[in-house]
């Protein structure tokens, strides 16, 4: 079962699924780097329960058990960082930690790929990792850069806009 077959409102394959593909191609990798998860994001303000997300993940796992699915309703994600409630997946994505991660993709009914990149695409193609000013928690950004191993996996990447570069051993 493809994520689109779930019929979720305002749904996108997002974050590392898209970002990693671009970074792999920019680095000339023939094979995709392994994914920690495949983020499926959607927006449903009428059922914000984590249990709904778990049901969707289970459906995806049943059809594609070898893939690491992660399904999250963006209608409740504002609570994680104390933001005002979001009104759409695009608004939620616009608050993600890194500019380059704030992207989603999906196939439309005509078989064309649509992108949801509320912060734009420019930096995604410039070998950078940039903190999102809308997220504005530098320690979270620094922790992600360090823990995710992006600079080891994609050595041409450069961290932008981070004063804690020394804490990352960059």
Q: In what order do the strands lie in the sheet with 113-116?
A: 69-73, 38-42, 12-14, 104-107, 113-116
Taking 70 as the pLDDT cut, the residues of the chain under it are 1, 162-170
Residue 56 DSSP class: H
Radius of gyration of the chain (CA): 16
pTM of model > 0.85: yes
pLDDT tens digits for range 40-58: 999 999 999 999 999 999 9
In whole angstroms, give the CA distance from residue 120 to residue 141. Answer: 19
In whole angstroms, give the CA distance from residue 50 to residue 59. Answer: 15
Report the pLDDT value the prediction gives residue 162, as an integer from 0 to 100: 67
């Amino acid at each position: 079962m493809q994520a689109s077959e779930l019929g979720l409102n305002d749904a996108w394959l997002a974050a590392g699924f898209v970002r990693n593909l671009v970074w792999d191609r920019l680095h000339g990798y023939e094979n995709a780097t392994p994914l920690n998860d495949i983020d499926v994001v959607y927006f449903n303000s009428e059922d914000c329960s984590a249990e709904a997300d778990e049901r969707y993940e289970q459906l995806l796992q049943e059809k594609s058990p070898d893939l690491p699915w992660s399904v999250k309703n963006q209608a409740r994600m504002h609570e994680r960082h104390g933001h005002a409630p979001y009104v759409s997946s695009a608004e939620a994505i616009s608050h993600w930690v890194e500019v380059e991660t704030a992207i989603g993709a999906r196939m439309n009914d005509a078989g064309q790929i649509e992108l949801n990149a509320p912060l734009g695409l420019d930096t995604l193609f410039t070998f950078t990792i940039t903190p999102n000013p809308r997220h504005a928690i530098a320690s979270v950004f620094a922790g992600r850069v360090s823990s995710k191993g992006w600079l080891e996996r994609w050595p041409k990447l450069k961290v932008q806009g981070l004063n804690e570069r020394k804490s990352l051993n960059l």
